[in-house]
Structure 1
């Protein structure tokens, strides 16, 4: 079994006309670890995730995935190692949960999960925000990927389902998968993360030690 190497974003610049969004950002996601990405609205967190997943092309900089240096979007190569959950739901709203799960060859075990069993006959649009988000996360983790990027997975999700999601994330990390996690609900993110970065002024700053304490020292949270 090959042990995955870190996912590294090195000197990532991203510009749109008359606006710099990222200015040399550096970030590492270690296998078997949860890495938190913290930042204010509009700081560039989602942009950074879209770049590493291949949804956007950086103005300059490289991604290093399992030791391979990628300078372009390289969607196929990224897809083989990375699963990405965007902020907006990615599920077809009119599809029934049962059919959706069956469309993922690796997700058949979800059919026997008591949480999803009661939802199988419902359409995605009939699910609550938390049920839909938990289904998305579960489908992503069913894929054979070394790294999982979760952009705002807890927003609008009931606390009980957030706890389910956190438990699932910890189980997958114990399989030596790396998770990059961002959410406005900082308590959930900082409590579960092994390491963290603060995205501020278009760059990533490594948070050493206790993430919550570091954020308090910086005046980012109370």
Structure 2
């Protein structure tokens, strides 16, 4: 991995359309090595589209996407898979497999195989990822017999097993109980602290504020602000983008529900 503080991801005035509808409108964003960038915004704001554009799964109509100094469209599928680990929002599986085999998919770009056929080094990487995701005890269980939260932890392990220098996670804490949400965010924070570039889409603003170095606020396909947590989640942004305000207890309440005298 590169040293912390070096540019890893750059979006330069990117425009993306899906089925003729604009989903990203003139978005420019820089994500650094050693930082966790949280993408937040209302439903349909463009968070998933931004992540897919970074991966080269969506093609920009205009603008440029750079991954470690290279245009993303110039990277082969294998090069992208080795550079970027992806935890998608949709994690459905067509057939069941053991938790170990699911996590082992993270080594696919390096010529991986089923868990019990991995090399010693690859298996050690998968075991570490399972431990980091609090999923070691699920290694021999069939995935379709597990709860949604247990499956989510295995999918996180799959992404971690790749050991890619860039980790892109779309709603990584969805389906997790409060304890495992905190554990998952701590894992992502630790990856950034170990010089990875971490970009994750979140709905929980408080977790974003607690763990992110940079918060990028998207609203109807446009980047409203990308800054430190306090600036990005200012009273003005919370009101105008999310329609909420922060309470004294660090929670949030809907502006429309406030009385006229509030």
Separation of aligned partners in 1, 2:29 and 2:100 = 38
Aligned to 2:194: 175
User: Which TM-score applies when normalising by structure 2?
Assistant: 0.75
Q: Match for residue 21 of structure 1?
A: 23
Q: Does the CA contact (< 8 Å) of 1:183 and 1:189 recur in 2?
A: yes
Query: For residues 65-144 of structure 1, what are the structure 2 equivalents within 5 Å?
Result: 65-71=67-73, 74-89=76-91, 91=93, 93-102=95-104, 104=107, 105=122, 106-110=125-129, 115-144=134-163
| Deviating more after overlay: 55-64 vs 83-92 | 83-92
CA gap of 1:213–1:147, structure 2 versus 1, over 3 A, is closer
In structure 2, how many angstroms separate the alpha carbons of the residues matched to 1:193 and 1:153?
14
Deviation (angstroms), 1:93: 4.5
What is the RMSD computed on CA atoms of the aligned residues? 2.5
Secondary structure at the counterpart of residue 135 of structure 2: helix
Q: Distance in 2 between matches of 1:87 and 1:35?
A: 17
Residue of structure 2 aligned with 1:49, choices 48, 51, 59: 51
Asked if 1 retains the 8 angstrom alpha-carbon contact of 2:130 and 2:157, the reply is no
Shift of residue 216, structure 1, vs aligned partner: 2.8
Q: Residues 178 and 95 of structure 1: is their aligned pair in 2 closer, same or farther, counting only changes over 3 Å?
A: same
Question: How far is 1:154 from its partner?
Answer: 1.2
TM-superposed deviation, 1:26:
0.9
Equivalent pairs, count: 222
105-114 or 81-90, larger mean C-alpha shift: 105-114
Name 1:33's counterpart in structure 2: 35
The unaligned stretches of length 5 or more in structure 2 are 108-121, 246-262
Whole-angstrom CA distance in 2 between matches of 1:213 and 1:32:
19
- Whose Rg is larger? 2
Structure 1 spans left out of the alignment, 5+ residues: none
Which secondary structure does the structure 1 equivalent of 2:209 belong to? helix
Aligned to 1:118, the other structure's residue is in SS state: helix
8 A Cα contact 2:133 2:187, kept in partner: no
What SS does structure 2 have at the residue aligned with 1:157?
Answer: coil
Q: Deviations over 1:127-170 (max 9, x none)?
A: 22222112211221221311111111112211111121122112
Q: Deviations along 1:30-83, whole A, 9 cap, x unmatched?
A: 111111111111111111111111222121221111112345675343223111
Q: Secondary structure at the match of 1:87?
A: coil
Question: TM-score if structure 1 supplies the norm length?
Answer: 0.87
Query: Any conservation in 1 of the 2:13–2:26 contact (CA below 8 Å)?
Result: yes
Give the equivalent residue in structure 2 for 1:203.
222
- CA, structure 1 residues 212+109, in 2 after alignment: closer, same or farther (shift >3 Å)? same
